[in-house]
Amino acid sequence: MSLLATQHLSKSFGGLDAVKNVNLTLEPGKIRALIGPNGAGKTTLVSLLCGRIEPTSGTVTFRDRDITKLPAHARISQGMAYTFQITSVFARLPVIENVALAARRKWPDAAEVERRARDALSRVGLADRADQIAGDLAYGHQRLLEVAMGLVQDPELLIMDEPTQGLSDAEIETFKTLVREVAEDATVLLIEHNMRVVMELADRITVLNFGEILAEGTPKEIHENPAVQAAYLGTS
């Protein structure tokens, strides 16, 4: 049974096929990594899954429901959450308020929002920065704040686009532990250039190249795939 699936999903911009005929299936409770060279179409594909852009053709289903035309905010209410490749925190608000705003999408009770927001900050290691202005955080900590904003929504599917960018080695180790914990209750789709993180975390890996799926498999299968080595791993 799939949690999320796409069928022949495509997106063209002015005749350029950014995503072409992608069939992707995400199983519940698994960590899936999406990798590929710069310009492979990864962020466009994520935007299609999240509802930030509409496909040229094809479908997206979530829990067996067709959500192809569902806007992004409605997909969040269905159980999807995501972090962006470029940070999108509310820079002038305190850290805790950023997370609380995300929590209010699901829980109207103020006390519950407060409790869940602080718990999410604790999980990503930012509990001691709750009252700091978000825009004053280092870039890596802003990435972690975005993860907290996703976690606080208690999603069934958490999509993270380049989450380790800007993190220190120690923060990356903490992040890997966190993702494994999240995967006990949710499905994780990880778009990531750090191949060590990918190989250590992912149950399966999907490789995108020129907007199309080049290969899928376990980390071992992907590492040993000659086509993947030629298109991506051999040049990384």
Quick one: pLDDT at residue 236? Answer: 42
What tens digit of pLDDT does each residue of 54-93 get? Answer: 999 999 999 999 999 999 989 988 999 988 655 678 999 9
Structural domain contains residue 92: no
CA distance 162 to 192: 5
What tens digit of pLDDT does each residue of 199-210 get? Answer: 999 999 999 999
* Count of domains for the chain: 1
Range(s) of the domain holding residue 12:
4-79+155-235
Bridge partners of 217, per DSSP, are 205
Residues of the chain with pLDDT under 70: 84-87, 233-236
Quick one: pLDDT at residue 105? Answer: 79
Structural domain contains residue 117: no
Domain with residue 211: its CATH number is 3.40.50.300
Structural domain contains residue 97: no
- Read off the amino acid at residue 32: R
> With 0-12 CB in 10 A as exposed, 13-18 as middle and 19+ as buried, what is 203?
middle
Structural domain contains residue 163: yes
Structural domain contains residue 102: no
Structural domain contains residue 174: yes
Q: What pTM does this model have?
A: 0.88
